Chains A and B, each alone.
Chain A
Amino acid sequence: MNTRGLRSQLKDSVPVAGLCTQAGSYGVQDPLRKGFSSVKNELLPSHPLELSEKNFHLNQDKMNFSTLRNIQGLHAPLKLQMEYRATRQIQRLPFLQSSNIALDTLRGNDESIGFEDVLNDPAQSEVMGDPHMMMEYKLGLL
């Protein structure tokens, strides 16, 4: 059984801050997939708002789900989280930009515009993954 292949399917789980975020397999830095590492950038935030913004959606969800649980009972957040998990899996191939329409509709992002819509235009992206390598990594062949 190819464990790596299964682990790559679990990408939608909540990211856990490990000791070495650059580690690929065997605990070694993986510059091919994760870029060059910098110890300082992993230990200290480069802006006071970096951590707060990185976890903004997570924290907001946590807050909303816990209020929902208190108001409506455990079934409400459970059902919503199940739906989020299902819609998050509707993705294109790894090197293509997914529209995430179902996920956006669930979250209510289809009726709002934020900085992430204005500033992060995928058509202007300077980096692109190699399609073959990304597919092989996703299927666990690499």
Chain B
Amino acid sequence: MFLTCFKKEKKQKNIACIILLLFPWKDGVVLGADTRATEGMVVADKNCSKIHYISPNIYCCGAGTAADTEMTTQIISSNLELHSLSTGRLPRVATANRMLKQMLFRYQGYIGAALVLGGVDCLGPHLYSIYPHGSTDKLPYVTMGSGSLAAMAVFEDRYKPDMEEEEAKQLVRDAIAAGIFNDLGSGSNIDVCVITKGKVDYLRPHDEPNKKGTRAGSYRYKQGTTGILTKAVTPLDLEVVEETVQTMDTS
């Protein structure tokens, strides 16, 4: 199963715009995201982390308002931890999905968090996309965010079910790169998170297609470039007229 998700960007203070990809391959899930957070038309964070931890086997990418996604995923992660301690089992992706959608619906879309949830539990790999108003979709591949159309185009072209891990990672990387280069709200590096049964590979960064260039030349002049014609030295005689001491109040 191929799951990719993109994340949308939102125009707000420190809004994370992300391209999130979630891609389930043969027996796991590959999540991908870019790393740019924008504040209006200005890049606020060139290397932010959009893939959040929910539980050891579940990770969540968040698009939309950065604070909302951060706090929502943290609250759900805490609740899921308490729940798994109470049941004594590894949490299921469907549980996290249900908790998230019920909370987001309660706040009627005022919490601007568009999430892509992916993980592997006892029933296999799962991928869900959760919109800010509380609707969810369970799909083989998902994209969210402002760069989602560019990424979805890559997916629709090259997705096939039951891919291998390297193939899946390459496809996710290409889809996110498509969003990074064709969408203003996404940019910088590509983060990838590969979740399989019992193992999580958080590759941050997986790829850096936007490394800042190094300066080739220098405008500094060599010592001695300017020739000295004449030199005249005039010593200034200064005498001490008044001396005052001002004590500091160090009490």
Q: Which residues of A contact B (CB under 8 A)?
A: 48-49, 52, 56, 111-115, 118
Contact = CB atoms under 8 A, between A and B. Distances in A.
B75 A113 contact: yes
Contact of B75 (A48, A49, A114): A114
A112 B83 CA distance: 8
Interface string B85-107: 01000000000000000000011
Contact of A49 (B78, B82, B86, B107): B107
Contact of B82 (A48, A52, A111, A118): A111
**10 A-B pairs closest in CB distance:** A113-B78, A111-B82, A112-B79, A111-B86, A113-B79, A49-B108, A113-B75, A49-B110, A112-B82, A49-B107
Nearest to A114: B75
Contacts of A56: 106
What class of interface size applies to chain B in its complex with A?
10 to 19
Interface of B: 75, 78-79, 82-83, 86, 106-108, 110
A112 to B, nearest CB: 5
A80 B86 CA distance: 22
B101 to A, nearest CB: 15
7 contacts: A48-B110, A49-B110, A56-B106, A111-B86, A113-B79, A113-B82, A118-B75
A52 B108 CA distance: 10
B13 to A, nearest CB: 19
A48 B109 CA distance: 11
Given A111-B83, A112-B82, A113-B82, 11 more contacts: A48-B110, A49-B107, A49-B108, A49-B110, A52-B108, A56-B106, A111-B82, A111-B86, A113-B75, A113-B78, A114-B75
A115 B72 CA distance: 10
Nearest to A113: B78
Contacts of A118: 75
A127 to B, nearest CB: 25
